[in-house]
Amino acid sequence: MSQRRLEALRRLLDHVHRVFALQFGFLLWDGSMVPENWERGALCVFIADEGAVAGLVRRPNLRTLANLWAAARLDLRNGTLFDLVAHRPAVRTRDMRKMLKKTLLLRAASRFLFARRGEPWPLEEISTRRGSAGAAQNKKNIAYHYDVSNAFYELWLDPEMVYSCAYFREWDNSLAQAQIDKLEMCCRKLRLQPGETVLDVGCGWGAFLIHAAKHHGVRGYGVTLSEQQLAYAKEKIERLGLKDRVRVELKDYAAIDGVFDKAVSIGMAEHVGLDNLPAYFKLVHRSLRPGGLYLHHAITRPGKSRQVHRRKKRPEFDALTQYIFPGGELDTIGRTVTGLESAGFEVHDVEGWREHYQRTCRHWHDRLVSRLDDADAEVGSVKARLWLLYLAGCSVAFERNNVGIYQTLVSKRVKGTSGLPPTRVDLYR
């Protein structure tokens, strides 16, 4: 039976290759190539066992693909996920089935329908229900993603450990330079002055507060729910002699107290949850002195579709929140601005950085690929391969304009002048 399955699959894949004029081949578990004359040094999709095909036949969806990829039962040879995307057929998914011979498709599917799926399926035990609902659940969600391993993140982040969109003054700048430029741009937008107090909500490994204290003379306070981030940030702050100027704590954003001159949130609002954003904005508002500036840096989804208003997630984002970012939700930029205004802020500037994040994610992916053996040793091959898929998918999503990212500068509304300069020209010198 196995040989008959193999032959049916070969015939189907050969048909698929010819119909869609694919620019990649297939390497099957018995070592054979489809097409037969496909060069073994060229890009190809590797199928490790017949159970992988059986799983796809029974459940042809993203979760099945993610499981097979994480287990390396589906893999690539002689290329990356970006190469596969670049060589995808120029045919809409909805039209693909119409172009295939139904007899070949049904014959191959019938051969595998009752075959064993085999093992492993490493992602099937991951819960699908982990929303943002209180401090305890928030901490679990954050720990799932950020407490993977500081050493793992050091393999592919920049030297300052900035895990958010970089800012490329030139498109060919290095990741390290682009992240320094991003930190500096955030400081400039907040118009930091020596001696001011700055709140960083979701401070990560401390990069922004450390940069702001070293180069702008501020006193910073940050919170995170990641124990490993906290340990890393505290060690770095002490090593750099900044303990008297920068303080970080393990604390949920809802427990923040005190009043600050300026505030920033860089890549944290995605974890808050749409239902919690009004309360979150109000908390930031009451944490600022009158006229104080707040920089809100967050990924967004396009606001034009009915799916957005119904809060329906795209399949790829649904998989992302299950396997990578539990509890994650994306607002639209329109709702973000409205929410900030409703909380008592005046909006001064909204700047889109979508293409910057596309490049950032590509840098992260390529750096992880270059250290994949080290990543496997640190967190295991399943986690490393899953993060590769996530970073590549994010880069492609930003490139295709399926998601966006904006920096929104607001101030705590006052009657009278805002105190800001008449233009923004000084920010971009």
Q: What is the SS3 assignment for 107-128?
A: HHHHHHCCCCCCCCCCCCCCCC
Q: List the structure tokens of 407.
A: 């920096």
Residue-wise pLDDT tens digits, 150-177: 999 999 999 999 999 999 999 999 999 9
| Mean pLDDT (whole number) for 213-229 | 97
Question: Environment class of residue 246 by beta-carbon count within 10 Å: exposed (0-12), middle (13-18) or buried (19+)?
Answer: buried
Provide CB contacts within 8 A for 73, sequence distance 6+.
Answer: 47, 48, 49, 51, 52, 118
Alpha-carbon distance of 271 to 425, in angstroms, equals: 33
Strand order in the sheet with 345-352: 246-250, 219-224, 197-201, 260-266, 288-300, 404-412, 345-352
pTM of the model: 0.93
Least confident of 1-15, 208-222, 357-371: 1-15
Alpha-carbon distance of 69 to 52, in angstroms, equals: 10
Q: Which CATH class is domain 135-428?
A: alpha beta
Residue-wise pLDDT tens digits, 392-412: 999 999 999 999 999 999 999
Alpha-carbon distance of 76 to 24, in angstroms, equals: 10
| Mean pLDDT (whole number) for 295-314 | 77
Counted residue by residue, the chain has a size of 429
Instruction: Find the distance separating the first CA and the last CA of the chain, reported in whole Å.
Output: 69
394 given a catalytic annotation? yes
Alpha-carbon distance of 208 to 229, in angstroms, equals: 13
- Asked whether the predicted pLDDT for residue 364 surpasses 80, the reply is yes
The angle subtended at Cα 385 by Cα 80 and Cα 161, nearest 5°, is 95
Q: What is the mean pLDDT of the chain?
A: 92
Alpha-carbon distance of 234 to 205, in angstroms, equals: 9
Model pLDDT, residue 150: 96
Q: List the structure tokens of 380.
A: 């295991």
Select from 87, 190, 205, 88 the least CA-distant residue to 409.
Answer: 190
For CA atoms 274, 275, 280, 286, the dihedral sign is positive
Model pLDDT, residue 70: 95
Which listed residue (186, 187, 361, 394) is catalytic?
A: 394
Residue-wise pLDDT tens digits, 263-288: 999 999 999 999 999 999 999 999 99
Provide CB contacts within 8 A for 139, sequence distance 6+.
Answer: 225, 252
Residue-wise pLDDT tens digits, 58-104: 999 889 999 999 999 999 999 999 999 999 887 766 666 677 788 88
Greatest C-alpha distance within the chain: 81
Alpha-carbon distance of 41 to 393, in angstroms, equals: 25
- Asked whether the predicted pLDDT for residue 390 surpasses 70, the reply is yes
Alpha-carbon distance of 164 to 267, in angstroms, equals: 6
Alpha-carbon distance of 291 to 284, in angstroms, equals: 13
- C-beta separation of 337 from 410 below 8 A: no
Model pLDDT, residue 127: 61
| Mean pLDDT (whole number) for 357-368 | 98
Q: Spell out the domain ranges in the chain.
A: 2-112, 135-428
- Asked whether the predicted pLDDT for residue 140 surpasses 90, the reply is no
Model pLDDT, residue 182: 98
